[in-house]
Structures are given as structure tokens and as C-alpha cells.
Amino acid sequence: MKLTARNTHRDIAYFFLGLIIAFSISGIFLNHRQSWHPRRYTYNSQEIQLKSLITTDSVNDQFITDFTKEFNIDDNLRRFAVNGNNLTISYVSNDVKIDLATGKGKIETYRITPLLGQMTQLHQDTSKWWIYYSDIFGVAMLVIACTGMFIERGKNSFWSRGWKLALVGLIFPLVFLFLLS
């Protein structure tokens, strides 16, 4: 096989096709994570009532430990916060919201969304080997972009027409990056 821009572009794109699709789909869903959490879905929701009312001052590490045992939450604590009369406790797979004034609350248990949850994890994974693979993927995307510039010849070539589209394609995200954020 001859080493040409077309062959290089095609073969690298074929090799990374699965990752390109996974990043594209999960990236779209992650863009909308403020309105819907793509990695997990509510599996169970349980209404609760505290035995006694508590004050915001009494919410501390010991209270959270006792609460976790009392409601049989077998999960790792991430964080907790009191905002006014609302207590929020976040575990890895559970979220708890309690109104301190009434003692009423809700425990929501989450599960990973099949396939989509794993795909979105690719955007956040920090293992050493995944970082190396992601770096190789980033270089491959640069190669695909650069070789793509030299595939077409004539009136539709990069130097005749493509550079204008590439310039607009470069300016568009910069507008969002600098002017709209």
C-alpha cells in the first residue's frame, strides 16, 4: 500500500471509528448534563422522615455517619451541605435531600445508564494508560485533520476552497470561547 494522505486519513479514521462515535455521542449528552444526567438514572426513590428534628448546627460528620447507618445506606460519602433549611448528602450512588424544618426527605438511588454511562466515563477517566491512549487519539485526530486537507484536488481542494471553510470553522468556536462565555 502506498503512503498517501488519502490512505493515511482513511486508515487512521477506520482504526479510531469506535472511539470517535463514542466520544461524539457521549459528548452530546454531556453537553446537556445540567438538565439530564447522562451517566446515571434514578433506580429507586424512598421518602423518609427523621425521628427527631435537627438544627443546622448539629449537622456534622458524626450526624452523617449516624444517618448513613440508620437508613442502611451502603455507599461511600462524597459530600454534604446545608443550605438554609435544606440538607443535601451526596454519596456515590445515592443522593439525600432533607428539609430540616420538617424532617421529611428523600433518598434517591442511582444506577449507571447502560452503555451511555460507560461512554461518558471515557471523557473523565484519569488512568495512566487511558491518558496515553487519549493522547495518541488526539494526535490521530490532528493527522486526520491535516491529511484531510490534501485529499481533494482541483476546485474543491483545501487551497482553492477548503481554507475558507476551515477558517470559518476555527473562528466559530473562538467566538463562543471568548465572546459568549
Q: Considering only 57-61, 85-89, 149-153, which range has the smallest mean pLDDT?
A: 149-153
Q: How confident is the model at residue 131 (pLDDT cuts 50, 70, 90)?
A: confident
* Residues forming beta bridges with residue 80, ordered by sequence position: 89
CA–CA separation, 159 and 67 (whole Å)? 66
CA–CA separation, 27 and 53 (whole Å)? 43
Quickly tell me which residue has 471509528 as its cell.
Answer: 17
pLDDT in tens, 4-17: 888 888 899 889 98
* Residue 58 DSSP code: G
Nearest by Cα to 108 from 37, 64, 44, 48: 44
| pLDDT attached to residue 5 | 84
Write down the pTM of the prediction.
0.59
- Average pLDDT rounded to a whole number, residues 40-67: 88
pLDDT in tens, 162-178: 888 889 888 888 888 88
